[in-house]
Amino acid sequence: MEIITNYGDLLVIMAIVFGVFMAWGIGANDVANAMGTSVGSGAVTIKQAIIIAVIFEFAGAILAGGEVTDTIRKGILDAALFANEPHLLVYGMLASLLASGSWLLIASSLGWPVSTTHTIIGAIVGFGAVGVGVDAVEWNQVVKIVMSWIASPVLAGIIAFTLFRSLQNLIIDTDHPFNNAKKYVPYYMFLVGLVVSLVTIFKGLKHVGLSFDAVTSYLLSIGFGVLIAAIGTFFIRNIHLDPDENKDFYYASMERIFSVLMIITAAAMAFAHGSNDVANAIGPLAAIYSIIDSGGIIGSKSALPLWILFLGGVGIAVGLITYGHKVIATIGTGITQLTPSRGFAATLAAAATVVIASSTGIPVSTTQVLVGAVLGVGLARGMAALDTRVISRIFLSWIVTLPAGAFMSILFFFALKGAFGA
């Protein structure tokens, strides 16, 4: 308790700095993943991607991010074991943030789409098991999270495969793809609005003091889906068939319709990402702030100030602007060639998977989900459409991430113990 009392302000400042560093890493790596399909398909520019990401990442974190934040804060470690030495938990969370930010800096500079979720959980498990004791880790929760890393990309791949097959049958592989796109795309827009609003209403709005019964929730979600479809239809009406642009690529005019849809799905993916992955930076920061604000009492409820969320948002935006282009290139063009129609199927599948997972409180890897979805679209076109060398490199980076996060976290944990005293 004495360390908390004497160094509380310094520890909070360090937590903010390390948290912003971690948020920068999320922007450089994970938000780039979320926007990769949109930019890679040519549907939005880098500048547009940044604007969409900043707005909807905030919305996702605030409206639907509470469930996952609680898992990061309380679900992985047995907080009761730190009751007599709360400063050790503070050291550990600081070490986890610094380790995660450092690994994301390395991975982003190499263009590797790694997982911030893998990184932060590996870091927390690492300092908990080695720095405190194996009993400090809630292994049942860790096993659930690891299982979700296998299930979620498979689920995203299946959804993306099914979605793109439906696009092929209804639009792409028909005699009049442009006309059929105008006819069917509004239904897909409705689906985007329905998926995002359903989970937001059921699991998100309770954090801002709003709750509805089941019938009202479904009616509101359907209404929101209809609104999104109506807005999309309005913009689609202004797109006209241009025979000249179709000479080199028969589907050019059709893909312009999907570009409108991709802007909507990019927003949905940013929302889904915010609901799940912003917790990776905010969760440990919330735990540190809560402990110090309560004078060392673990488990005491303490609201996270909005200015910390704001700093996290700034870190994400700066990360995307400064380093995001490298990972965007890997996701957007490296795995398989994307067009707006292919990017739509991948992005909606990923958004649906992430937003459903965040409603369960299990933090899945947005990176794995999106890569799984892009693979699903590629498989729908045949194995030849996939670049297996890029895929192998991505899988290798995933394997390395967990132990890298754990190892660095252990080093930083003992360095902090040495600097402040055990």
Query: What does the pLDDT profile of the chain (422 residues) look like in tens digits?
Result: 677 777 778 888 999 899 889 888 888 877 766 677 777 777 777 778 778 877 887 777 666 555 544 555 456 777 677 777 778 888 888 999 999 999 988 888 877 777 777 788 888 888 888 877 887 777 887 787 777 777 888 888 888 888 888 988 998 888 888 888 888 888 988 988 887 777 667 655 555 566 777 788 889 889 989 998 898 888 888 888 777 766 666 677 788 888 877 787 778 777 766 766 666 777 788 778 877 877 767 665 545 566 776 777 777 778 877 777 766 666 555 555 667 888 788 878 877 787 677 666 666 777 778 788 888 887 776 665 666 776 777 777 777 888 888 899 999 999 988 887 76
DSSP alpha helices (H): ranges in 205-305?
Answer: 214-237, 252-277, 279-293
Q: How many domains does the chain have?
A: 1
Q: Are 276 and 200 in contact (CB under 8 A)?
A: no
At a CB cut-off of 8 Å and minimum separation 6, what does 302 contact?
Answer: 289, 290, 293, 294
Nearest residue to 92 (alpha-carbon basis) of 400, 311, 308, 413? 413
Domain that holds residue 80: 2-420
At a CB cut-off of 8 Å and minimum separation 6, what does 62 contact?
Answer: 207, 208, 309
Name the one residue in this structure whose structure tokens are 């997982």.
115
Q: Are 412 and 126 in contact (CB under 8 A)?
A: no
At a CB cut-off of 8 Å and minimum separation 6, what does 192 contact?
Answer: 225, 228, 261, 264, 265, 268, 348, 351
